[in-house]
Structure 1
Amino acid sequence: MNDLTGIGIGRGIAHGPVARMAAPPEPPQDVPSQLSPEEESQRVAEAVQAVAEELAARGEQAGGQAQDVLEAQAMMAQDPALADAVAERTQAGKTGEWAVFEAFDEFRQTMAALGGYLGERAADLADVAQRVIARLRGLPAPGVPEPGHPFILVAEDLAPADTALLDLEKVLALVTIEGGPTSHTAILAREKAITAVVGVAAAEELTGGEDVIVDAAAGTVTVAPTQEQIDDAEQRIDQRAAVQAAPLSPGALTDGTEVPLLANLGSPKGAAEAVELGAEGVGLFRTEFLFLSSDEAPTVEEQTESYTELLQAFPGKKVVVRALDAGADKPLSFLTNTEEENPALGLRGLRALLTDEQVLDDQLTALANAQEATEADLWVMAPMVSTVEEAQRFSELAHAKGLKTAGVMVEVPSSALLAENILGEADFASIGTNDLTQYTMAADRMLGSVSHLQDPWHPAVLRLIREVGAAGQSTGKPVGVCGEAAADPLLAVVLVGLGVNTLSMAPAALSDVRTELTLHSAEKARAVAQAALGASSAAEARKAALAASQS
């Protein structure tokens, strides 16, 4: 028996044979083309168009965050600069396959060297290139194997196009050699409730057909398990299935302490699924989808229509809408400065909105209109608040429009450390753990080279969350978490132990978090949180919390 370790996503467990992701096709050879440059250019154009359409179609079928990722890949495939680089090579007598391979690889290396968001997208560009080359060769696109039976998929990492449309009747679990808790694989696995363990370096040695148990709760992959281990795993699988099939109930600890479980949504389209999966409301509604596809801000009427559609799905329930969070990786030509050297530290979030209050005024007006037209309990919050003055200004503007509940997002250390003062001005706080981790650890969450630091389990991050929880208790104001951390069942217990009142996550994660909460009392949650706080690293905090939860 051999246990391989990595980072578990969720609380699932699976047992089955390994199937390895097929290696990428052999790169083409640099040989002269037998066709004219015009014919080669036409072949490439048709292949690129077909791949882009396939990626977009996969995205539309998958929905959610997967759709955003795949649409970005489709745009990448059709980049005019790439098309020019390919054409330059076909005009020189190269084959379409070689022209795509060389041009895309040159761009990929440039992106990887730049780091940051573009560096993270380098692997996505490589996937696009392989798909175009396969299309030119008349071969199937590289992707998930089909051994004809259910299997545990083991891969170096997964391209978004593969993760988005996995057949969950066949793929029992994912094991990746690379990746971390914020990788595309981890995010999409969490969104689709796929049992997964990522960053398992030793999985390189696994071969097709090997029998393994994947335990996301423990972050382990057990190779050649004993019959006793298999029986235990199968029992846990059955227990988990029974829990998920049970009637939905509100989020609560075993002693009856209520912990409402809410959904993170990116558009009104996801509302029905969230309700079906047991969301007790919405803890984060991202409004960027209305703004990012246009060169100008949407009208008050257009915004009112979308917000009303969302609120109508949650009559009598809390819906937290985040004001436009523009800037950094979401630039808007009509609001943000695209020439900032470090946009993550520049005009983004509320800072950007306060430079053009008409955009904010229109949004608040539309939200107030939707509030009047529906029966939902609408809460609004400002993104990226750094100072007490910003919290005060946003609250004034929101209340002046008749919006009853105005709060702030805590995403930077300054707002966590000043939480008590900020909550003196705001009605509530919602912690965005993705950005709070990024700014606390000075580690770009889009940069793979520092992914080991992008972990909300780090005690430095947990101590800041404790500050906000304590401020909420002292002021009597609610504190929620709407970052990816809330979707980690054990970390959810820690967050409650740190004083968090509500948890918001991808709808697919609701079941696992709800189940985990029922295993702990408020006193136990505080003890688990204290164990995590006493650690000196994220890995140690996770291990200490697990031990405390089982004691």
Structure 2
Amino acid sequence: MADPGRPAEVPPDTELAGLGVSQGRAAGPVIRMAPPPVLPSPRQVADPAAESAAVVKALESVTADLRQRGALAGGGDAAEILDALAMIADDPMLREDAEAAVRGGLDAPHALDAAFTHHRETLAALGGYLAERAADLDDLKHRAVAACLGLPMPGIPAPGHPYILVAEDLSPADTAGLGTDVVALVTEKGGPTSHTAILARGRGLPAVVACAGITALADGTVISVDGKTGQVGVGLTDEAVAELRRSDREERARLANSSGPGRTADGHPVKLLLNIGSAADLRPGAEGVGLFRTEFLFLDRKQEPSFEEQVAAYAEVFARAGTVVVRTLDAGTDKPLPFLGLPPEPNPALGIRGLRVDRVLPAVLDTQLDAIAEAARATGADAWVMAPMVTTPAEAAGFARRARARGLTRVGAMVEVPAAALLADRLLAEVDFLSIGTNDLSQYTFAADRQHPGLADLLDPWQPALLKLIAACADAGRAAGKPVGVCGEAAGDPRLAPVLVGLGVTSLSMAAVCVPSVREELSQHSLEECRELAALAR
């Protein structure tokens, strides 16, 4: 009989497949994440006050640990995500739920488990982005229970040699704390916009998510990881490992020497831009910022950042980046921000999010536009501004009027829903440019949750229906003489880049690690060849 505590063996020369979310290739031995702490049997509560005190102490310990990690992360996405997690651990409602469980007769570890589980179930029921954030609560629960039991915080293995980290899923705290001995990441769960994917791309680590069967591999199994294709090879020989590492080093060295503006082989210009969350994400080698995600400034706040705070944050980016396309707050019930006070919704992906927040809280957008305009004036930057989740020409016109009234002369709209793509010509009659967010556009076009690993085929950016919508936007831009860019994950795929250019896209905005490979791929194709590839793909 098989040992139930031992992972099932995966035959050598097997190839597993997942979603490649961060480019690069690596090979090495597997080390799996240690399991979470095991709850002991419940015990009789003799002193409820002492149990409540233990609950508070555990949550304070987790909060302090995450804030310390955030401070050591040195800014960027990692620090912001860790700070946001610390805010969740410090949530008074969570503490009150745990203390109520103690009053109901549970000891401190079980009370923490019950409170986190309740909050997780609430998020999971909402679906979409919130369902993915529910996994963050699992990690916080494990940390709080470990602190309560006096056990070490769950964390990343440190074997003292290079390895590939394998896990069912990775928390933001774990991903942000990866050591230099981790050469690649593979998880059984997760999606292309998970924190694992975001942080792996930021660090340039090859990563594959939604890889079924990966946790069945025994520690020490040698595997290869291709973060572009999502392929994971099992049971490699020493010679195969050495060859893969050699070719990866050569490829990275070649790309490191890549420089200059984006253009096709015959000189057709294609701006290559960065997606960033703060000044800490800026890197050399791009031609500006195509997506400044301003919501990271708001994530860990119980009160709205002041006008002065916003001006300072925007000016820090403007002073260093030249041309910057700022996306106004992309938030709502799918990216919950406590200070907004928005009520829960049965289907948050179809509710008050992005520009729609302005319907109930117009002062938030007013303050943000004022701050962006002031930061642009103070730095002399070429600041463009665009609104997320624009659906109708009337919404685009209203946003443009408010932005231009503040002296912001380059105003655009995100195309993330099919309605906007189908009326791209009318949107461009109101605004100066369009930026296509392929992640959400795929989700809404195919009625497929973008976090669902079982629907990856529907969310593939090569889907002809998605490419037709992109082409419609590009055609409208060409007719109006206005730029149309792509800033979703598809923009960083070097194989897809020539197709997007062939469709008529004028700029591609991506994680910094993707820029060299996209630049090199475009340089291998003439504009006519790009158009031929686009025709084949459609």
Query: What range is the shorter-chain TM-score in?
Result: 0.7 to 0.9
Aligned to 1:547: none
Residues 125-204 of structure 1 aligned to structure 2 (within 5 Å): 125-167=137-179, 169-204=180-215
Aligned to 1:298: 306
Query: Which residue identity does 1:141 align to in structure 2?
Result: M
Which shifted more, 194-203 or 454-463?
454-463
How many residue pairs are counted as aligned between the two chains?
Answer: 524
Aligned to 1:421: 426
Which of 188, 207, 223 is 1:212 aligned to? 223
Measure, in 2, the Cα distance between the counterparts of 1:217 and 1:365: 40
Measure, in 2, the Cα distance between the counterparts of 1:334 and 1:142: 31
SS at match of 2:414: strand
CA displacement at 1:212 relative to structure 2:
1.4
Query: Which residue identity does 1:372 align to in structure 2?
Result: R
Q: Does 1:458 align with 2:497?
A: no
Which of 16, 32, 49 is 1:38 aligned to? 49
Q: Structure 1 pair 99/344, CA: closer, same or farther in 2 (3 Å)?
A: closer
Q: Structure 1 pair 531/69, CA: closer, same or farther in 2 (3 Å)?
A: farther
Q: Structure 1 pair 171/312, CA: closer, same or farther in 2 (3 Å)?
A: same
SS at match of 1:329: coil
Q: Structure 1 pair 485/406, CA: closer, same or farther in 2 (3 Å)?
A: same
Query: Which residue identity does 2:285 align to in structure 1?
Result: G
Please, which runs of 5 or more residues in structure 2 have no aligned partner? 1-12
Q: Does 1:402 align with 2:368?
A: no
Which of 321, 324, 328 is 1:323 aligned to? 328
SS at match of 1:18: strand
Please, which runs of 5 or more residues in structure 1 have no aligned partner? 534-551
Contact kept, 8 Å, 1:119 with 1:447, in 2: the verdict is: no
Which shifted more, 87-96 or 204-213?
87-96
Aligned to 1:7: 19
Q: Deviations over 1:222-268 (max 9, x none)?
A: 1122466435412321212312432632223333332222122223x
Which shifted more, 153-162 or 91-100?
91-100
Contact kept, 8 Å, 2:191 with 2:452, in 1: the verdict is: no
Q: Does 1:256 align with 2:267?
A: yes
SS at match of 1:463: helix
Q: Deviations over 1:468-497 (max 9, x none)?
A: 112222222111112232233323333223
SS at match of 2:496: helix
Aligned to 1:22: 34
Which of 238, 245, 256 is 1:234 aligned to? 245
Query: Which residue identity does 1:197 align to in structure 2?
Result: V
Residues 355-370 of structure 1 aligned to structure 2 (within 5 Å): 360-370=365-375
SS at match of 1:313: helix
Q: Structure 1 pair 76/365, CA: closer, same or farther in 2 (3 Å)?
A: closer
CA displacement at 1:352 relative to structure 2:
4.0
Aligned to 1:544: none
Aligned to 1:308: 315
Q: Does 1:431 align with 2:439?
A: no
Measure, in 1, the Cα distance between the counterparts of 2:311 and 2:131: 37
Over the aligned positions, Cα root-mean-square deviation in angstroms equals 3.0
Measure, in 2, the Cα distance between the counterparts of 1:302 and 1:98: 40
SS at match of 2:183: strand
Query: Which residue identity does 1:251 align to in structure 2?
Result: G
Contact kept, 8 Å, 2:190 with 2:451, in 1: the verdict is: no
Which of 287, 310, 313 is 2:294 aligned to? 287
Identity of aligned residues (%): 51
Query: Which residue identity does 2:306 align to in structure 1?
Result: P
SS at match of 1:490: coil
Contact kept, 8 Å, 2:113 with 2:145, in 1: the verdict is: yes
Measure, in 2, the Cα distance between the counterparts of 1:302 and 1:86: 34
Q: Structure 1 pair 137/246, CA: closer, same or farther in 2 (3 Å)?
A: same
CA displacement at 1:12 relative to structure 2:
0.4
CA displacement at 1:504 relative to structure 2:
1.3
